Amino acid sequence: MSGTIDELIARIKDLPVSEVLGRYVHLTKKGTQTLAVCPFHDDSNPSLNINDSRGMWFCFVDNLGGDAIKFVTLYRNLEFMEALKDICDKLGWNFDDYHQPKKASPKVEMGKKLLGNSTKLYRKVAETGNHKAFSEFLQKRGLSEEIAKTYQLGYAPAGRALCDYLGSIKDEKDRAFAIKTAEELGLIKKSTYGEQSHYDTFRDRIMFPIWDQFGQVIGFTSRAVTDEQKPKYLNSLDSFLFNKKNLLYGLHLAKNTIRERDEAILVEGNMDQVALFKNGFENTIAIMGVALGDNSLRKLLALTKNVILSLDNDQAGWKAGTRINAQFMAEGITPRFIDLHEYKDPDEFLEARGATEYSKLIEEAKPFVDIQIEREFPEKIPELAERKLDLLHQVFEILSPLKDSLSATERVITYAKRLGLQSDPQSIVKNYQDYLNEQQKSGSNFRPSPPLPEQELASPYDEEDLNESKVRLDRQLTSVEVRLLQNLVQHPELLIKDEMAELLDFVGNDEVKSYILKLRELMYEIDESEYTSVVQSLMSDDHYSAELTAVVGGALYRYQDNTFDDKVALRMIEDIKKSLQVEQLKIEKQFLKDQQGRAQTQDEQHNILKRLLEVDKKLNELRSANRYSKKA
């Protein structure tokens, strides 16, 4: 059987939802109900209700719900396409029958074939046991056969093993094409002894295949086995398949654990990644070299926003960390930093101190940016105001990728106090913002490196089919936004009221606002009988987060085709609008209180207190209006 992704989705939805969920959690029958212990909270009394007639599940505790596909994306923490494949695997269906990757160019197909066969060749040579250097390497590094197999570690022998393989291709045209492609990939090189003569690039070396995030071998890195061999590490050339700036070594092995733990450890070099992985830190990935490419950055941020830098403990490693940290800060992320003390890299630390001690380093890890600023501070704070200002401007420069975020301005105020500057916090922040504006005008402020051209082999899936957004259930929606979504989904007649336009002005969450506008637009185009199916289809839209669609799914589960009269509908809209206003004012009040604690002058205290009184007055007016409307 074959078809399209849409046909696969339809086929899954045609199944009883219990048929799919039963492959993941234990189901129990209670009368006419099908129940399960909910995996999304600490549940001992089954609260997950599965309704086959409606094709939905619903948790009465979390108020979350959806179809079978939504359950798998949440439960297994998968992207949409990965969830479809996972369901196919559980049901014994062939995912590739519904999704065929785009046909690659002949050169890409040949390149993939050559790299795959080279991996097998090097692995087979290693497994013969005839090369003592390989077994000694495994023993010295404490690598088991299981790890060697997982990483497909191999050995490139002396001589022309790869050239001989290429020469064995019978068809002359195919052989010539294979040799040309292997040369472009850097697997072989031309010999000076003749135009048609070649030799193997990798000889007498431990071979590490390098994969893309989907597990396709796209190149190699190799390690010398004797001190005389130069260089010690030899990588594949940049090619139409391989670009080390856009690679994260071990990502295909680590990505699921990164999602599950919501944390990634970034190291420098493949042996550090292998060492951490085999010691249980399976959320580890490695940069290739000392640079993090823009594509690699995007891939990582799609999996987690929590990053720990554990690079080599030398000057080059620190410089690499500084650059990489700035790239993350430009995305609003503040990575943490692992101090390896006297050890040169994570591999050496693990060998000397073990995994338990490394776990302690992770617990103690502080934001990289704070360590960076501390290194700029002298042991003794200078007395001259001009020197203090010079140091503060160095802090400005370090923090500038964070722009004028709260994370940056809080640090600016803190370090200004440490320098003993007498200016009030508002003036310090204003000075920092002026610095940012000046940097922007001069074009010298930090910018992440521009995206490099996409490689011909991006993935076995079409890019448009992949939802790179991380699926999470940590609550980002406020209680009022949840109530708003629930009311609108359960009572869609509210959507087309003119008063909704004013209510939306008070919705601060762009995603919630976008969803409501989309639903409102659709309400003018569909019949009432189509409503449920339209909302269900929107739940599969990759543009919306897992949390929002799960809340919508829970509300849809409780949807009944009954409408409010105009008076009740308008009162509900007004109540929610006031609740949104109250929520905004509470946020402003908390912000002012935080500022009040940092105020250093009487004028500043007076201005903040004045604004606090104004906010309290507005809050009281709204609460009084709410009480009055309820009595009415």
Q: Specify the pTM.
A: 0.63
Same structural domain, 341 and 388: no
**Range with the poorest average pLDDT among 79-93, 332-346, 501-515:** 501-515
Whether residues 404 and 329 share a domain: the answer is no
Quote the pLDDT of residue 448.
41
For residues 126 and 221, membership in a common domain is answered with yes
pLDDT at 194: 60
pLDDT at residue 2 above 60?
A: no
Q: How many residues are given for the chain?
A: 632
Average pLDDT over residues 571-585: 84
Is residue 551 included in any domain, yes or no?
yes
pLDDT at 14: 87
Q: In this predicted structure, what is the pLDDT of residue 187? A: 95
Instruction: Say whether pLDDT at 494 is over 50.
Output: yes
Reported as a pLDDT band with limits 50, 70 and 90, residue 627 is: low
At 58, list the tokens: 């619903």
59 and 113, same domain (yes or no): no
| CATH number assigned to the domain comprising residue 13 | 3.90.580.10
Kindly report which listed range (24-28, 250-254, 507-511, 538-542) carries the lowest average pLDDT score: 538-542
Q: Is 104 exposed, middle or buried (0-12, 13-18, 19+ CB in 10 A)?
A: middle
> What pLDDT does residue 597 have?
63
Res. 456 pLDDT band, cuts 50 70 90: very low
Do 368 and 297 share a structural domain? yes
Structure-block tokens of residue 425: 């916090």
Q: How many domains are there within the chain?
A: 6
Q: What is the pLDDT of residues 169-184, one digit of tens each?
A: 999 999 999 999 999 9
pLDDT digits (tens, 9 = 90+) for 13-45: 889 999 999 999 999 988 788 999 998 888 888
Tell me the pLDDT band of 586, cut-offs 50, 70 and 90.
Answer: confident
Say if 571 falls within a structural domain.
Answer: no
Q: Which region among 51-55, 99-103, 625-629 has the lowest average model confidence (pLDDT)?
A: 625-629
536 and 434 share a domain? Answer: no
Could you tell me if 202 and 87 lie in one domain?
A: no
The last residue of a domain, from among 421, 442, 463: 442
Task: Find the CATH number of the domain harbouring 284.
Answer: 3.40.1360.10
Note whether residue 467 is domain-resident. Answer: no
Lowest mean pLDDT: which of 116-125, 441-450, 523-532, 566-575?
Answer: 441-450
Is 559 a residue whose pLDDT tops 70? Answer: yes
Same domain membership, residue 209 and residue 174? yes
Per-residue pLDDT for 617 more than 90? no
Residues 503-521 have pLDDT tens digits of 888 887 888 888 888 888 8
pLDDT at 294: 82
ω into 382 cis (within 30 of 0):
no
User: N- to C-terminal Cα distance for the chain?
Assistant: 63
Q: Other CB atoms closer than 10 Å to residue 409's CB: what's the count? A: 18
Whether 448 is covered by a domain: the verdict is no
Tell me the average pLDDT across 589-595. Answer: 75
Evaluated on CA atoms 557, 561, 562, 568, the torsion sign reads positive
Q: Is residue 559 part of a domain?
A: yes
Secondary structure of 581-592 in HEC code, one letter for each residue:
HHHHHHHHHHHH
Helices 479-490 and 510-523 meet at what angle, rounded to 10? 10
The whole-number average pLDDT for the span 222-248 is 86
Residue 192 lies in a domain: yes
Tokens for 357?
A: 């001690």
Instruction: Point out the domain boundary residue: 372, 395, 428.
Output: 372
Residue 569 lies in a domain: no
Confidence label for 237 from pLDDT (cuts 50, 70 and 90): confident
C-alpha triplet 120, 123, 125: angle, nearest 5°? 110
Same-domain status, 365 and 412: no
All residues at 6 or more sequence positions from 258 whose CB lies less than 8 Å from its CB, including other chains:
264, 283, 285, 303, 304
Residues 393-440 have pLDDT tens digits of 999 999 999 998 889 999 999 999 988 888 888 889 999 998 888 877
Model confidence at 460, pLDDT cuts 50, 70, 90, reads very low
Considering 541, 563, 585, which residue would you say is the last residue of a domain? 563
What is the percent of the chain where pLDDT is above 70? Answer: 90
Written as six digits, the tokens of 542 are: 């990759």
**What is the pLDDT, as a whole number, of residue 217?**
93
8 A C-beta contact, residue 156 and residue 203: yes
Q: Residue 585: pLDDT band by 50, 70, 90 thresholds?
A: confident
Residue 466: pLDDT over 50 = no
Residue 466 domain flag? no
- pLDDT at position 387 is 86
The token pair that represents 580 in the structure block? 């949104």
Does residue 454 surpass a pLDDT of 60?
A: no
Say yes or no: 9 and 113 in one domain.
no
> For residue 632, is pLDDT > 50?
no
CA distances from 205 to 129, 150, 230, 347 (A): 14, 19, 11, 20
CB-based contact 340:361 (threshold 8 Å): yes
Q: What is the pLDDT of residue 608?
A: 81
- Give residue-wise pLDDT tens across range 268-302: 989 999 999 999 999 999 998 777 888 888 888 87
DSSP 3-state of 61: coil
Asked whether residue 526 falls in the same domain as residue 595, the answer is no
Please check whether residues 169 and 83 belong to one and the same domain: no
Question: What is each CA distance from 21 to 306, 467, 533, in whole angstroms?
Answer: 30, 22, 20
What is the pLDDT, as a whole number, of residue 447?
42
- Say what the pLDDT of residue 500 is: 83
pLDDT over threshold 70, residue 443: no
Which residue segment(s) compose the domain that 41 sits in?
5-97
Q: Is the pLDDT of residue 462 over 70?
A: no
